[in-house]
Amino acid sequence: MLSKELIQAGFSEKESKVYLALLELGEGNIAKITQKSGIKRATVYLEIESLKNKGYISLVKRKGRNIYMAENPMRIEERLREKTEMIGSLMPELLSIANAIDRKPKVRYFEGVEGIKDVYKDTLKYKGMEILGWYSDDRIDHFDKAFVLEYYMEKRIANKIPLRMIAVESAFMSGMKEKDVKHLRQMKIIKSDAFAFSAEINLYSKDKIAIIAHRENIGLIIESKKIYDTLKNIFEIMWVSQVPFSGSERRGVA
């Protein structure tokens, strides 16, 4: 049991066995440590050297023989504290270097129905944070309709995640728009003869973009603040520039 805790404290598995064996022995030569630890003699030599370098074992000479002793276990706590203090002193400089680097976007690729479901589920992790998106009927016609309308929508509402969406005109979207308040959603509809979306895009979590191509059965999650901000600005421009669409009037969008 103690071996697991020592591994968590930075020991290798074999280091932990050698150290515990020597701690129980009090002191011993290579032969005794080998027998007690159950590790091969040649390996014990290597682990002893490693533990000596870390300050967990000391060596004394007696009648020309090497005798090893385990240092007080408090040394482990001291070394961990020293490491923590060292990392703390380095952190400001490390952060300044990290902030100076223009990071590449992190991109994750998903494939198949279950992969796309994972993309949708990722957008549900950020409770109370608005999702902005562009949609078409593809998510209904070429995907798992029950998952979208039952599992996903219910989870989104339960997590109090509001949705603003720009959708391509269809009978289905017009019917859904009537339930906007109930579904914690605001929808604007654009005419299908003016625009067509071949991929769904969701902006969420202030730095994530989910792109789903239902007909190709693939999805992407991109993590990039710059790309997110650019797409959000495009969305907002489209959102405020649209003319309300009332269905029968077919004046443009809603």
Any idea where the domains of the chain sit in the sequence?
A: 2-74, 106-241
Indicate yes or no: pTM above 0.75: no
Is the pLDDT confidence value at 126 over 70? yes
Phi/psi for 204 (5° steps) reads -155, 165
The residue-averaged pLDDT of 177-182 equals 92
Asked whether the domain spanning 106-241 has the same topology as the one spanning 2-74, the reply is no
Is the pLDDT confidence value at 248 over 50? no
- Model confidence at 101, pLDDT cuts 50, 70, 90, reads low
In the CATH hierarchy, which fold is given to the domain comprising 106-241? Endonuclease; Chain A (3.30.870)
> What pLDDT score does 250 carry?
37
Whether 202 and 133 have beta carbons less than 8 Å apart is answered as yes
The residue-averaged pLDDT of 82-92 equals 82
The mean pLDDT of the chain is 86
- Of residues 103 and 141, more confidence is placed in 141
Tell me yes or no: is domain 2-74 CATH 1.10.10.10: yes
Whether 228 and 208 have beta carbons less than 8 Å apart is answered as yes
How open is the CA angle 146-190-235, to the nearest 5 degrees?
Answer: 90
> What pLDDT score does 1 carry?
56
Which two three-digit tokens encode residue 90? 């380095």
Rounded to whole angstroms, the Cα distance separating 171 from 183 reads 18
Is the pLDDT confidence value at 74 over 70? yes
> What pLDDT score does 243 carry?
47
Helix and strand tally (H, E) in the chain?
A: 11, 10
Number of CB atoms found within 10 A of residue 75's CB: 15
- Model confidence at 4, pLDDT cuts 50, 70, 90, reads confident
